[in-house]
Amino acid sequence: MYPRRKQRNLAPPNVYTLDEIIISMRRHPKLNLSKRPPLVSQAGVFFLFLILFCYPTYSEEAWVSRDACSAAGIGDARILIPFFADDTSSSSICGLVYNGLTKVDKDLNVVGDLAERWEVSEDGRVITFYLRKNVRWHDGSPFTARDVQFTFETIQDPGAGSPYISGFMDISGIKVLDAHTVRFEYKQPYAPALLKLGMGLIPKHLFEGDPDIRRSPYARAPIGTGPYKFKKWESGQYIILEANQDYFGHVPGIKRYVYRIIPDQSVAFLELVAGGVDSMQLDPYQFRYRSDTAQFKEKINKYRYLAPSYTYIGYNLKDPFLKDPRVRQALSYAINKKEIINAALLGMGEPCTGHFWKNSIYYDQSVNIYNYDPEKARTLFAEAGWVDVDDDGVLEKDGMEFRMKIITNQGNQVREDVATITQRQWLEVGVVVDIQIVAWAAFLDQFIGRKNFQAVILGWSLPVDPDCYSIWHSDSIREGGLNSVSYSNERVDELIENGRREFDPEKRKEIYHEIHRIIARDAPYTFLFSAYAAPAVNKRFRGIEPAPAGISYNFIDWYVPKDEVKYKF
Amino acid sequence: MSKRNEKREVRYKNTCAQYETTMRNYIIKRLLLIIPMLIGISFILFVIMHLAPGDPASIRYGLNPDVSESARENFNKIYGLDKPVIVQYGMWMKRFMSLDFGNSFIDDQDVTAKILSKLPATLLLQSSSLIVIFCVALPIGIISAVKRNTIFDKTMTVVVFTGYAMPTFWLALLLIFLFGFKLQWFPISGMDPWYISYLGWTARIKDTAWHLVLPVFVTAFTGLASLSRYSRSSVIEAMQQQYILTARAKGLPERRVIFVHAVRNALLPIITILGLTLPALISGSFIFETIFAWPGMGRLGYEAIMNYDYPVVMGVAVISTFLTLSGIFLSDMLYAFIDPRIRYGAKQ
């Protein structure tokens, strides 16, 4: 007969043995130590034991999941399968529910996640992953190499329709060597693979044979291996995740993660201060001014770090005015980035000079050009033949005035402000600019796609891997490619190709530093700034350690002291 | 029974029968007319949507370096967007015949399911505010009409027009700030808090009602004007009719004159307004739902339009077109049903 008995709850007992406490404290040395800074921060294991015996309260502070953290987000998630997720909401939920083979640590290095270790063959074409054992899916089934194979074969299948398919097309074969070993064979060495293969893995036993994975019920009620289990999704309102008590890393310190959808930024801010949400991303105005109240300071910590993105002015290199590099350099010198950052971002950003994430090793910090210098701009313009002949404040060449149009997309206030400031700054060196702001769809279709523009203000968000083939390689100039400024430089092409083949981070660093320098010199863009991400988190959450990767990389280490728990059920 | 009475009876029955057949034909004709109108409107909408610059794939992935051009083409192929617009419309129509609106481009959810998941929130909010509007605006209108040009009338005029003129988002933010944030009488945003799923049903109903107060107040306050002004002028007009004079001359108490004779006649046109509110019941408001984080149809429609999510746009549009058409139809029918002058007037 059908078994009547319900499956027993597998949650661990609330009483912890001494060993368990020690283990949990070893896993989180800073967690308990950070509360007693001067004495203990330098202490070793001996002190740990001492504290354990001297402060009996620690047995109560043992590592268990407590409380809930509700984060405010602007939009609803769309689909909770990692290789379909293409918006921030879905990606952040997927990040807590699923694991990949690899992940990035707080300093942006590639480390193992579900893979304990890996080997890259001499020629860089074969990568063998050795998986963690005893990992289980949220439904209790064991995780094996077959799941890995299934996930990546599904991504490679055009019929499945994953948007990220191109990053996996170089894989010629995925072989399961045994239950916990899997080997990827590439047609050619592909260094970004290590990060690309960090894509969240999905369970084979639930998706196999499903002709349309995107419409599977598990796309909206996901089963992963991650630190959080999916609990509930109220469309347009919130998504609830619950701590996975069997997580292979360690049990998360926060029992529930709630993603609340609050589309209006100012309402979200009120919720944050009132306690309705525990964390959100502040905009520059909120960071600078709105959070400057006693009520805010008492309850909430704010952080800031450089977001993996930058804003630039791109020049169409096919334009008769702009194809001369000296003109572009002059325009770059005429831009006062500090002023732009102070006005458009209220100081919440840093100037940048290249295409790479300023926090990563691939960004060449030594490149320090295009600091505001209108004199130098005028000199460069004169070299290129642009001089103000009739003294009307506008440069001329061959009887033509230097008038151009700068476009940007509607709905991004920062970019619109940048356009206005740029207009004024360029006028000072004799360049007259018209601004055109275009709705997103038409902007992409009529202007960027058809390369029908002179200068454009846009931004890129940057992946951790520095590969920039799709943006800077001359192959990407073709229609539909993202090299819409038509930048072409043989040396850069060669370096980009080398960078894709080189696995050694040190050697890759050299390569990308050189790319950084060359592109800076050629000035197809004026690189403007990298803005700060500014998360704010309720003070009851401890264990937050800001790092180049941000603050949420160690979310499972966050915890709430027992006496500050807000949601006790 | 006298012969004359019999004749009259027969004539009356004939009139009724005739009325019923004309009425039935009329209803059938009106109902059938809805179909070509729906098809026409859906076709125009479909074409206009595809005429707009850009396509769903480029809006979604246009500037994503991780998504190659071939992946974007693949996206178009999977959703049949590579076919000519007419063929796409044919495919849409074919599915629509079996009441299938297809799947959203954004999250691949069934469009009907998607709409049904947002509908209750909007229905709840709109119907409660409609009830409030009726309960408040009608008395205001009637009293203003009866006590025309008094202080009450003038104050109410200012009040309802203030509500009408006030930007919804501004009023909403002010109220949220005052009652939600400073005084903490009401919740700041949302429909029900997330932890409600860990509590019982009674708590849930109570909490939802609590969350309804501010949104309903804002929609009701900003929506009072038309109904109250309409009923006011309508009652004023009725009060000048001769039957009111007759009623007064008969010596009826003023209360009866107003509520039985004047208001009853004056409020007939309100039925039209009721019919026209039917589509408003489900359409919701984007600005409003954004501010209150209300999970309704307005946000759904806006998001669909911004992302060129054709199936959802079509689904929402067809449903509200259908409701508009049937709202007009229903109010016409109700008119005939309630007002004997219309029922028999057509005959004379």
Tens digits of per-residue pLDDT, A453-499? 999 999 999 988 999 999 999 999 987 789 999 999 999 999 999 99
Tens digits of per-residue pLDDT, B203-233? 888 888 899 999 999 989 988 888 899 889 9
The pairing of strands A403-409 and A432-438 is parallel
Q: Give me the amino acid identity at B75.
A: F
Question: Which pLDDT score is estimated for A57?
Answer: 43
Of 3.30.700.30, 3.40.640.10, 1.10.3210.10, 3.40.190.10, the CATH number of A18-97+226-304+534-564 is 3.40.190.10
Are the C-beta atoms of residues B323 and B282 closer than 8 Å to each other?
yes
ipTM of the complex: 0.86
Are the C-beta atoms of residues B81 and B311 closer than 8 Å to each other?
no
Question: Which pLDDT score is estimated for A211?
Answer: 86
Of the two residues A18 and B209, the one the predictor is more confident about is: B209
Q: Give me the amino acid identity at A142.
A: P
Q: Of the segments A344-353, B46-55, B113-122, which one has the largest average pLDDT value?
A: A344-353
Picking from B59, B65, B107, the nearest residue to A441 by CB comes out as B59
A479 → chain B, closest CA residue = B69
Taking the CA of residue A455 and the nearest CA in chain B, the distance in Å comes to 17
Domain A102-207 has CATH 3.90.76.10: yes
Mean pLDDT of A213-227: 93
Question: Which pLDDT score is estimated for A518?
Answer: 95
Contacts of A536 (CB under 8 A, 6+ apart): A272, A279, A280, A281, A282, A287, A291, A300, A301, A302, A303
Instruction: Give residue A133's pLDDT band: very low, low, confident or very high (50, 70, 90).
Output: very high
**Cβ–Cβ contact B113 with A under 8 A:** no
Question: Which pLDDT score is estimated for A206?
Answer: 95
What CA–CA distance (Å, rounded) separates A456 from A419?
9
Taking the CA of residue B124 and the nearest CA in chain A, the distance in Å comes to 15
Taking the CA of residue B77 and the nearest CA in chain A, the distance in Å comes to 9
**Cβ–Cβ contact A311 with B under 8 A:** no
- Tell me: pLDDT of B332 over 50: yes
Q: Do B108 and A219 touch (CB under 8 A)?
A: yes
Question: Which pLDDT score is estimated for B346?
Answer: 53
**Cβ–Cβ contact A569 with B under 8 A:** yes
> pLDDT over 70 for what percent of chain A?
89
Nearest to A278 by CA among A251, A238, A243, A309: A238
Are the C-beta atoms of residues A100 and A199 closer than 8 Å to each other?
yes
Which of A204-213, A460-469, B61-70 bottoms out in mean pLDDT, i.e. has the lowest?
A: B61-70
What CA–CA distance (Å, rounded) separates A213 from A167?
19
Q: Do B107 and A79 touch (CB under 8 A)?
A: yes
Residues of chain B with CATH 1.10.3720.10: 105-342
Q: Of the segments A437-446, A480-489, A518-527, B280-289, which one has the largest average pLDDT value?
A: A518-527
**Cβ–Cβ contact B295 with A under 8 A:** yes
Interface subset of A 265-284, CB within 8 angstroms of B: 266-268, 270-271, 273-274, 276
Instruction: Give residue A14's pLDDT band: very low, low, confident or very high (50, 70, 90).
Output: very low
Measured N-to-C along each axis, helices B310-338 and B3-51 cross at an angle, to the nearest 10 degrees, of 160
Interface subset of B 311-330, CB within 8 angstroms of A: none
> pLDDT over 70 for what percent of chain B?
97
Q: Where are the domains of chain A?
A: 18-97+226-304+534-564, 102-207, 309-532
> pLDDT over 90 for what percent of chain B?
31
Picking from A274, A567, A569, the nearest residue to B188 by CB comes out as A274
Question: Which pLDDT score is estimated for A12?
Answer: 40
Q: Do A441 and B121 touch (CB under 8 A)?
A: no
- Tell me: pLDDT of A26 over 80: no
Taking the CA of residue B34 and the nearest CA in chain A, the distance in Å comes to 32
Instruction: Give residue B70's pLDDT band: very low, low, confident or very high (50, 70, 90).
Output: confident
Tens digits of per-residue pLDDT, A242-265? 999 999 989 999 999 999 999 999
Picking from A237, A268, A444, the nearest residue to B54 by CB comes out as A444
Tens digits of per-residue pLDDT, B120-159? 899 899 889 989 998 999 999 999 998 989 999 999 999 9
What CA–CA distance (Å, rounded) separates A496 from B133?
65
Q: If you average pLDDT over every residue of chain A, what do you get? A: 88
B121 contacts in chain A (CB < 8 Å): 236
Q: How many CB pairs under 8 A join A and B?
A: 155
Token couple for A277: 């949400």
Q: Do A161 and B75 touch (CB under 8 A)?
A: yes
Q: Taking the domain B105-342, which CATH number applies?
A: 1.10.3720.10
Domain A309-532 has CATH 3.40.50.1370: no
